[in-house]
Amino acid sequence: MENKGDLMGERTKNILVGAAWKMKKNLDKSIAYARKLNEFCLENIETGDNIEVFFLPTFLPLYHMRDIVTSPKLKYGAQNCCWEDEGAFTGEVSPAHLKDAGCTYVELGHAERRRIFGEDDGMLNKKVIAAIRNGLRPILCIGEREKKDNISDTYDFLKDQMLTGLKGVDPGDLERVIIAYEPVWAIGAKEPAPLSYTVEIIRFLRDTLEEQYGKEVSEAQMIFYGGAVSADTAPELLNIEGNDGIFIGRAALDIKYFTAMIGMALEFVRSQEPVPGQAPIDKF
C-alpha cells in the first residue's frame, strides 16, 4: 500500500494539463480542434481554478492560434525551437518567431528529438536559455531510456540531464522552466511507470533541485509526468506529492479524450482545500 504522505501534498497544487501533437493534424484539423478546446475551457474552467491547459501543435497553425485561443486558462506552444534568434540555420524555427506567434510554451528535448535528431543535453541547454530570453516557458523533457534494476543508476542519469539542461539559467528564471519527467520506456506503452517508482523519481528530482538551488526553488519548480497517461492512471498521478500535472501525447489527438482528461484534472483541483497565500497558476 502506498504511503499517503508520498502521494498527496499538504499544499493546494497548481495543475498543468498538456498535450503534444507530434507531427499530426493538418492546418484545417488543427484549427477545428483548437476552437473546440477553447470553447470547452471557456465553458468549464473558472477563473479561480488552479489549472492551466496547453497544447503543442505543429508549427504551421501557430499564427492562427492567436485569434482562436481566448480562454485565459488555455495556452499553446511549439514542440521545438532553435537556440539562436536568427541567422543561417536553414530549416530551424526561431524562439523569437514563436513568441511573435503568441506561444507561451516550447517543448525541448523530447525523447524522439534526442534519438532521431541527435539532440544532446548541451544543445538543449542552449535552447532552454534561448526560450527564456524570448519570454517563452521551456518544457525540458528528461527521462531514462530503460528501467534499471538499480534505481541509483537512473538517479545519476536524470540528475545529469536536468542539471545540464538548466546550466547557466539565472536563478530568478528557474521558475519559468517546467520539467517534464517522461521515462522513455513508458512513452506509447500500455501502462505508465509504476506509481511507487514515479513517486521516488519526482521526490529525487525535487531533492536534487533543493541541493543545487535551495528549498524555495525546489518547491516553486513545476514538474509533471508524461508517459502512457490514461483515464485510469491520471487520478493517482495527480495525487503524487510534488507532481504538478500530466503531459499527454498521441491519445490527446482525440479532442473528446483530452477534454475528459481536463475534466478529471478539474475534479482533482476542486477537491483540494485551498491554502491561504498559495500563488495561483495565473502568475505564469
Angle CA(200)–CA(194)–CA(206) in degrees, nearest 5?
Answer: 25
**pLDDT confidence of residue 228:** 87
Residues 9-36 have pLDDT tens digits of: 444 579 999 999 999 999 999 999 999 9
**Global confidence as pTM:** 0.92
How many secondary structure helices (H) and strands (E) does the chain include?
11, 8
Cα–Cα distance measured from residue 217 to residue 207, given in angstroms and rounded to the nearest whole number: 11
Question: What size, in residues, is the chain?
Answer: 284
Which of 5-19, 34-48, 145-159 has the highest mean predicted lDDT (pLDDT)? 34-48
**pLDDT confidence of residue 197:** 94
**pLDDT confidence of residue 12:** 59
Q: Which residues are catalytic?
A: 110, 182
In what helix (H) or strand (E) does residue 8 lie, and over which residues does it extend? Answer: none
Task: Report the DSSP beta bridge partners of residue 140.
Answer: 108, 179
Residues 247-273 have pLDDT tens digits of: 998 999 999 999 999 999 999 999 986
Residues 152-193 have pLDDT tens digits of: 999 999 999 999 999 999 999 999 999 999 999 988 777 888
**pLDDT confidence of residue 118:** 97
Unique residue bearing C-alpha cell 533543493: 210
Residues 73-131 have pLDDT tens digits of: 999 999 999 999 999 999 999 999 999 999 999 999 999 999 999 999 999 999 999 99
In what helix (H) or strand (E) does residue 226 lie, and over which residues does it extend? Answer: strand 222-226
Q: If pLDDT is split at 50, 70 and 90, which confidence band does 6 have? A: low
**pLDDT confidence of residue 282:** 46
**pLDDT confidence of residue 16:** 98
* Contact call for residues 105 and 132 (beta carbons, < 8 A): no
Identify the DSSP state of 251: G
Where residue 25 falls (left for φ over 0; alpha for ψ -120 to 50; beta otherwise) is left
Q: What value does the mean pLDDT of the chain take?
A: 92
Cα–Cα distance measured from residue 5 to residue 163, given in angstroms and rounded to the nearest whole number: 27
Unique residue bearing C-alpha cell 514538474: 223
Largest CA distance in the chain: 56
In what helix (H) or strand (E) does residue 106 lie, and over which residues does it extend? Answer: strand 105-108
Measured between its terminal Cα atoms, the distance across the chain in Å is 36
